[in-house]
Amino acid sequence: MIDRGGSRRDECEAGGEDAGRLEVSMGPQHPSTHGVFRMDVVLEGETVVRLKPVFGYLHRNHEKIAEQTTYLGSMPYTDRLDYFCSLTSNWAYALAVEKLAGLAVPERAEYLRVITAELTRLQNHACQMGFMLQDLGAMGTPMMYAFREREKILDLFESLTGSRMMCNYMRFGGCRADAPAGWIEAARGVVGDFPRFLDEYEALLATNEIVMARTQGVGVLPRDLAINASASGPVLRASGVGYDIRKTDRYGVYDRFDFRVPVGDHGDCYDRFMLRLLEMRESVKILEAALEQIPAGPVIDGKVKLRNFKPRAGEAYGRIEGPKGEIGFYLISDGSASPYRYRVRPPSLINLTALEEMCLGQKVADVVVILGSIDIVLGEVDR
């Protein structure tokens, strides 16, 4: 599996250092690298024969800062990891700390976590599809529709957590605040409206001949390589692996909901695109059930200290199924108020491992589409 990728790389390099090659450095400022990402691409005509990603333009030392601050102080920084999905990053971190310190979470808080995480997934997937279409050259229309729906979800986030993007909502042992009056109903309204948007998206894009021609058979990630390269989330599932941490780890209260995990068979950009669409439909189902079932009760374990929180020495790795893939936190505690080692397992970075294999032999216009279909966010890639 690795050998094939390697040989393909060699083959292209052995293709001769003749003239007609063009070395292009895409990024760090490029409209389709989704931030400050850079790819050094070698082209023959318009065909990619080599591609080297260059990282670090947004390396803002998240892990170092976290090792110098308290456990609680890192929570707002996790918002800024994946700035589309602050709530799932919150959750992953809270989960890791709860494992580290052995904390239990009240049931209502678990439901609130599921609801906010699935809402996050909805807006992340919608925006990802918008960005990918933007990379395909659609003049912003799909993105506008995605952001139109995203704003509705952000309104919910703001009235629940106080901030549109940087929610800083979860705490060790629960959530910071209970839903304000009328929030559940408002969320039900937004979720109820969402399928209309999905239908619109599907009509606009799913059977569009140009979209199909641009994405089908492009950027294929074979099943074995996907597993071996530790791809996760929709990228892994599009390659035919039905692996969803919500099902495998059964964290939170996900085992109480009836949802399915869509799987692609081709592993190309179209599969990754469509899987997100199908996942959104499943998320809507989870949300409807969760908003129906949510019990009354406290939202945080009142015994957990906010200040001077010092878990006993030990380590823990906690992970959840984020919208972009497996987001995990690895923490080592030495018994003091700040973690001895704090590590983020960034799905965006690791999903890029096989980027070169996916891009070789494709056109330069495909590179941006493949990158868009992986769905990266630089805050998380570089941290």
Partner 1 sequence: MESDLRSELSRQGVMIVSLEALYNWGRSNSLWPLGFGLACCAIEMMAASMARFDLARFGAEVFRPSPRQADLMIVAGTVTKKMAPQVVRLYNQMPEPKYVMAMGACAISGGPFKQGYNVLKGIDRYLPVDVHVPGCPPRPEALIEGLMALQRRIMRQRLTGPERPRHLQAGEASELPVPTLGARDIEPPYHAAVWRPPRVARAS
Partner 2 sequence: MERLASIQARIEAALPEAKLALAANPGASGQHSLVVEAAHLEAVARRLRDDPELQFDYLSNVTGVDWLDRVETDKVRVKREYQGEEIEVEESVERRVPGYLEVVYHLYSVARGTGPLVLRVRTGNRTDRVDVPSLANVFRGAELQEREVYDLFGVVFTGHPDLRRLLMWEGFSGHPMRKDYVEPDDYEYEPTPHGEVAAKASRRYAKRGQP
Partner 3 sequence: MNMEGILALTGWGGLRWVGPVELFERGPVWLRDWAVGWLPEGAKVWAEGLIPAVAVLAVFGLLFGLATVAERKLLGRIQNRPGPNRVGPYGWLQFAADGVKMLTKEDVVPRSADRVLHFLAPIVMLAPVALSLAVIPYGRDLVAADPRCGLLFFFAVGSAAEVAAFMAGWSSRNKYSLLGAMRAIAQMISYELPLVLSALTVVMMAGSLSLVEIVEAQSGYWWGVIPRWHVMTPWGLAGLLLFMAAAAAASNRAPFDLPEGESEIIGGFMTEYSGFKYAIFFMGEYFGMFAVSGLAVTLFLGGWQAPLAVLEAAPSYGWFFLKLGVMIAWFIWVRGTLPRLRVDHLLNFGWKYLLPLGALNLLVAMVWRGLGGWAFPGAGAVRWLACLAMIGLPAILWGRLLMRSRGWGPRVYRYAS
Positions that interact with partner 2 (CB under 8 A): 1-2, 5-6, 55-56, 59, 61, 63-64, 99-102, 225, 227-232, 241, 243, 248, 311-319, 326, 328, 330, 332-333, 340-341, 343, 345, 349-350, 352-354, 382-383
Nearer to partner 1, 80 or 285 (CB): 80
Chain-centre distance of CA 67, in angstroms? 24
Angle between helix axes 183-201 and 107-136 (nearest 10 degrees) is: 30
Q: Which of 190, 200, 129 is nearest to 157 (CA)?
A: 190
Chain-centre distance of CA 194, in angstroms? 20
- The one segment of 24-32, 176-184, 218-226, 238-246 that binds partner 1 by CB under 8 A: 24-32
Residue 80 neighbours by CB distance under 10 Å: 17
User: Between the CA of residue 363 and those of 45, 96, 172, 300, what are the distances in Å?
Assistant: 9, 41, 47, 52
Burial of 47 per CB tally in 10 Å (0-12, 13-18, 19+): middle
Check binding of 24 to partner 1 (CB under 8 A): no
Check binding of 192 to partner 1 (CB under 8 A): no
Q: How far is the CB of 310 from partner 2 (least distance, A)?
A: 12
Q: How far is the CB of 53 from partner 2 (least distance, A)?
A: 9
Q: How many residues bind partner 3 (CB under 8 A)?
A: 55
Residues in Cβ contact with 8 at an 8 Å cutoff, skipping those fewer than 6 apart: 357, 360, 361
Residue 313 binds which one of partner 1, partner 3, partner 2, none, with CB within 5 to 8 A depending on kind? partner 2
Residue whose token pair is 């707002």: 76
Nearer to partner 1, 57 or 183 (CB): 57
Nearer to partner 3, 144 or 306 (CB): 144
φ and ψ at residue 372, rounded to 5 degrees: -65, -35
> What's the CA gap between 258 and 256, in Å, rounded?
7
Q: What single DSSP character describes residue 216?
A: T
Q: Which residues, numbered 184-213, are part of the site for partner 3 (CB under 8 A)? A: 204, 206-213
> What's the CA gap between 137 and 213, in Å, rounded?
13
Residue whose token pair is 């940087």: 166
End-to-end Cα, the chain, rounded Å:
29
Check binding of 125 to partner 3 (CB under 8 A): no
Check binding of 267 to partner 3 (CB under 8 A): no
Nearer to partner 3, 3 or 23 (CB): 23
Check binding of 70 to partner 3 (CB under 8 A): no
Nearer to partner 2, 35 or 314 (CB): 314
Q: How far is the CB of 166 from partner 2 (least distance, A)?
A: 20
Q: Is 251 helix (H, G, I), strand (E, B) or coil?
A: coil
Residue type present at position 367: V
Q: Which of 79, 112, 159 is nearest to 300 (CA)?
A: 112
Q: Which residues, numbered 333-372, are part of the site for partner 3 (CB under 8 A)? A: 363-368
Residue among 5, 71, 75, 77 that touches partner 1 (CB under 8 A): 77
Residue among 71, 84, 172, 259 that touches partner 1 (CB under 8 A): 84
Nearer to partner 2, 176 or 237 (CB): 237
Q: Which residues bind partner 3 (CB under 8 A)?
A: 22-24, 30-32, 43, 46, 133-141, 144-145, 148, 204, 206-214, 216-217, 237, 242-244, 247, 260-266, 270-271, 274-275, 278, 363-368
